[in-house]
Amino acid sequence: MSHERLADVTTGTDTAVGEGRDPYAAERRTTEGPVYTVTGGDWDELPSAPGHDERIVINMGPQHPSTHGVLRLVLELEGETVTQSRLVIGYLHTGIEKNTEYRTWTQAVTFITRMDYLAPLHNETAYCMAVEKLLGTEAPRRAQIIRVLLMELNRISSHLVFLATGGMELGSTTGMVFGFREREEVLHLLEFLTGLRMNHAFVRPGGVAQDLPIGYGEKIRDFLKVMRGRVPDYHRMFTGQPIWQRRLKGVGHLPLDGAIALGATGPILRSAGLAWDLRKIQPYCGYEEYDFEVPTSYDADCFARYLLRVEEIDQSLGIVEQTLAKLAETEGDPVMVEDGKIAWPAKLSIGPDGLGNSLEHVRKIMGQSMESLIHHFKLVTEGFDVPPGQVYVPVESPRGELGYHVVSDGGTRPLRVHVREPSFVNLQSMPAMTEGGLVADVIASVASIDPVMGGVDR
């Protein structure tokens, strides 16, 4: 058989590839020792090879939907036991933080909403609160209530994705179907309220883009009625299920001291016994007015994180219900600051039919004052100035503390926007959860972290 030559791109030399040799499953030497890339028929041969110490390094996945080509898990195995686990990130880098430096303060919202794409409204709210802090202003009360409503709906949809994908990874296709079915209910409601299912750009510096559409109260009540009936299904399907319990209980254990040392927040920290929730510890958007509990556990394992998220869905439904009364009290109030240097002067909106104002109405608004038209044009194209300074504003996202460090040099664009992204920080806990455990338990541990790589690689 003829031999072909493969160029070795690392050394510049040629390597002979003969009969019976696979260039993609060869041993290579590293500073950590020999590394084997195993393919179908090689697994049984490698452990019996001369001088092999029965440790194999593999690239695991993609398993979790967040890891499909964007999160690399490098595991060193001794049999079925994980002796070392490492994460490699950066495959989904979008440069969103840098892009915000080249847009106005309002335009930046359309970028940051795409970071953690399962919690876009938390990103929008945290960023806009930071801009408002630099401006020395605060959104009107009705806008704050609308922000709470949207964030809690967003928290529910995010946790439903956790349940759906976590169930799918551990073999429950019914859990996957149920989770995405309920998430569609949330996305339909968000589309009615904001105009979009995801990446809303609805929260703006100074308030929100517009008031809620006609008939929002009835839509929200219908949603609450449906969800109240369906949340117990998850307890019936998962909580008492023996297979689910065996796959999650005692798996991915991370005690409180380890969670604090690694900077983990959200359900990971609360599952270890610390009731740390920024909605209670450092209330924002009027959360101190709402009655809700912060679920905690002392088990510090995957099962505890699952139970916490189901309970948080129930608590969020209660908060959404409480916003209805507050919205009724503030009906007709402004949803944007009155400062004409920040808010657009044209009172344009979208009707319940999804269409905007009539052309006659637009002409009337724009024809009232030439100065108003010029100012509106400058606000849209150039944006508004933000006084120089820097602030850090955190909110409680579905994955933990989501903080925005925003710096202004006094211009119409941010000098720097840096995000304390909870998925990025929480992923550090993966080795602590998985090393010493079985390779099959890595799947459950990564799912319990609930990472969103759009936020990690922002």
What number is the average pLDDT over the span 309-325? Answer: 93
Asked if residues 196 and 153 have their Cβ atoms less than 8 Å apart, the reply is no
- The residue-averaged pLDDT of 48-73 equals 66
Which region among 15-29, 97-111, 318-332 has the lowest average model confidence (pLDDT)? 15-29
The single residue listed with the structure tokens 């209910």 is 185
pLDDT > 70? residue 62: no
| Parts of the chain belonging to CATH 1.10.645.10 | 96-345+368-456
Angle between helices 370-381 and 359-367 (to 10 degrees): 110
What mean pLDDT is predicted for residues 434-438? Answer: 88
Separation between Cα atoms, residue 166 and residue 179, nearest integer Å = 10
Q: For residues 397 and 140, what is the distance between their CA atoms, to the nearest angstrom?
A: 22
Average pLDDT over residues 349-362: 63
With a CB cutoff of 8 Å and minimum separation 6, the contacts of 44 are: none
| pLDDT for residue 275 is more than 80 | yes
> How does residue 278 score in pLDDT terms, banded at 50, 70 and 90?
very high
pLDDT at residue 310 tops 50? yes
Number of helices (H) and strands (E) in the chain: give both, helices first.
17, 12
Distance CA 270, CA 264 (A): 10
Q: Are 266 and 277 in contact (CB under 8 A)?
A: no
Secondary-structure class of domain 96-345+368-456 per CATH: mainly alpha
- Residue 324 — φ and ψ, nearest 5°? -60, -45
Model pLDDT, residue 122: 94
Compute the mean pLDDT over every residue in the chain, rounded to the nearest whole number.
82
Q: What is the mean pLDDT of residues 264-269?
A: 92
Give the mean model confidence (pLDDT) for residues 309-329: 93
What percent of the chain clears pLDDT 90, i.e. is strictly above it? 35
Q: State the DSSP string of 25-50.
A: S-EEEETTEEEE---TTTTTTTTTST
High-pLDDT (> 70) share of the chain, %: 81
What angle (nearest 5°) sits at the alpha carbon of residue 164, between those of residues 160 and 165? 120
Residue 419: pLDDT band with limits 50, 70, 90: very high
To the question of pTM greater than 0.85 for the whole model, the response is no
pLDDT of residue 59: 79
Please check the confidence at residue 364 and state whether its pLDDT lies above 80.
Answer: no
C-alpha dist (Å) from residue 349 to 318, 327, 341? 29, 18, 19
The residue-averaged pLDDT of 74-83 equals 86
Q: How confident is the model at residue 38, as a pLDDT?
A: 55
Sorting pLDDT into bands at 50, 70 and 90, what band is 307? very high
pLDDT tens per residue across span 14-53: 444 344 455 545 566 766 566 665 555 555 555 555 554 5
> What is the radius of gyration, based on Cα positions, of the chain?
26
pLDDT digits (tens, 9 = 90+) for 139-149: 999 999 999 99
| Residue 85 φ/ψ, nearest 5 degrees | -135, 135
Q: What does the pLDDT read at residue 331?
A: 87
The pLDDT of residue 6:
33
Residue 142 pLDDT: 93
Q: Is the pLDDT of residue 55 over 50?
A: yes
The span from the CA of 293 to the CA of 456, in Å, is 29
Cross-strand partners of 73: 60, 87
